[in-house]
Amino acid sequence: MSALNLDDFTDLIERPDSGVRRDAEARRERQVVPPGSLGRLDELGEWLAAAQSAVPVRPVARPRVVLFAGDHKVAELGVSARAAGSAGDLVREVLAGGRPVSVLARRLDVPVRVVDMALDCDADGLPAEVVRHRVRRGGGRIDVEDALTLQEAEAAFRAGVAVADEEADSGTDLVVLGDVSVGGTTAAGVLVAALCGTDASVVTGRGGLAIDDLAWMRKCAAIRDALRRARPVLGDQLQLLAAVGGADLTAMTGFLLQSAVRKMPVILDGVVAAACALVGQRIAFRAPDWWLAGHDSGEPGQAKALDRMALEPLLTQGLTVGEGAGGLLALPLVRAAAALAAELPVTAEEAEAETETEAETEAAAETEVTEGA
């Protein structure tokens, strides 16, 4: 049995401040641009104000991309267009600045952090900061064996919690969460199908490099077989992650929950992040209130998970590359919403009323001081 009690997160996670959100809505009604005319930007600004517990909302000043990395042995079945065990190469490309997320992060001036949880490569070839949380080398083939032992799953979950604490303690005020994996979308499909009570074919997508029909059928079969192993442990989310998730997905789940505890908003990237969020919702029902769906990747598993959590993607650009790129594209939208909510002036009538109210408050304070003297 694990010493980790996931039920604690239900008590630890609070919803964003509803009173502050009402104040943000009231402030929006006084601004020169009519409420509703900015579409979802109004809603975004109010959500961010509630998450920050601040009116007017503060700018997103210290965002960060956090990518959890791992290899999944199920890729040996030919369910991915990439070779099994090759996620380490992708990580090196991210660190070298040659992946889409690297380019976008440079342009948006956002640092990227990669956390190796289960890459199937020698740790010596990667920076110490990247590999220090590694739980194991690769993961079990989930159609026939557990991805992790229960002890490894607990270690991975705790690593995700620790990374969230590190980010919150360092002043990160918003995270774009993604993965760097090979075979990860297959594991994500299993989690979504298991938690939504649906069949493998409903959640099986084409992955980042658009696999052909034969590979899709192999992926569908792998998810179907892994589902048989997942269903008996649906009541225990840590055992579920150990059976069919993997170290990277388990760490992402821990990261998401602890981010909600620390009141640090998160933008979800693709289907892997969405699957982990769905597990997180099962553990703590208030947690999704701290998350945004960055984009619609077109993966059916992602759509199923987001629908279950009532999260609507901010963008629809069809990005299947993963690695946080789609989530990072949504960041300028969030920043724009914050700027509009904070900087749009109020109407002349409202400004005059606010000035009169401030003058009355100051006069009342002076009267109290005089009477007291």
pLDDT in tens, 328-352: 999 999 999 999 999 999 876 555 5
Q: How many angstroms separate the CA atoms of 192 and 273, rounded? A: 11
Quickly tell me which residue has 């440079």 as its tokens. Answer: 106
Whether CATH 3.40.50.10210 fits 63-329: yes
Q: Per-residue pLDDT for 1 more than 60? A: no
User: Lowest mean pLDDT: which of 8-12, 201-205, 222-226?
Assistant: 201-205
Q: For residue range 177-196, what is the model confidence (pLDDT) as tens digits?
A: 999 999 999 999 999 999 99
Kindly tell me the burial class for residue 256, based on how many C-beta atoms sit within 10 Å of its own C-beta (0-12, 13-18, 19 or more). Answer: buried
Query: Pick the catalytic residue: 46, 167, 323, 352?
Result: 323
The better pLDDT of the pair 214, 2 is held by 214
Maximal CA-CA distance, the chain: 88
Q: Report the phi/psi class of residue 322: left, alpha or beta, with left for phi > 0 and alpha for psi in -120 to 50.
A: left
Both tokens of 188, joined, read 């994500």
- 323 belongs to the catalytic site: yes
Q: How many angstroms separate the CA atoms of 251 and 257, rounded? A: 10
Q: What is the pLDDT of residue 205?
A: 82
What is the pTM assigned to this prediction? Answer: 0.91
Which residue, 345, 339, 350, 347, is CA-closest to 57? Answer: 339
Q: How many angstroms separate the CA atoms of 285 and 9, rounded? A: 9
Q: What is the pLDDT of residue 346?
A: 85
Mean pLDDT (the chain) is: 91
Domains in the chain: boundaries = 17-52+338-366, 63-329
Q: What is the pLDDT of residue 245?
A: 96
Which residue, 67, 144, 59, 143, is CA-closest to 341? Answer: 59
Q: Per-residue pLDDT for 209 more than 70? A: no
pLDDT band at 364 (very low <50, low <70, confident <90, very high): low
Q: Is the dihedral of CA 155, 160, 166, 168 positive or negative?
A: negative
User: Lowest mean pLDDT: which of 38-42, 80-84, 111-115, 244-248?
Assistant: 80-84
Q: Per-residue pLDDT for 357 more than 50? A: no
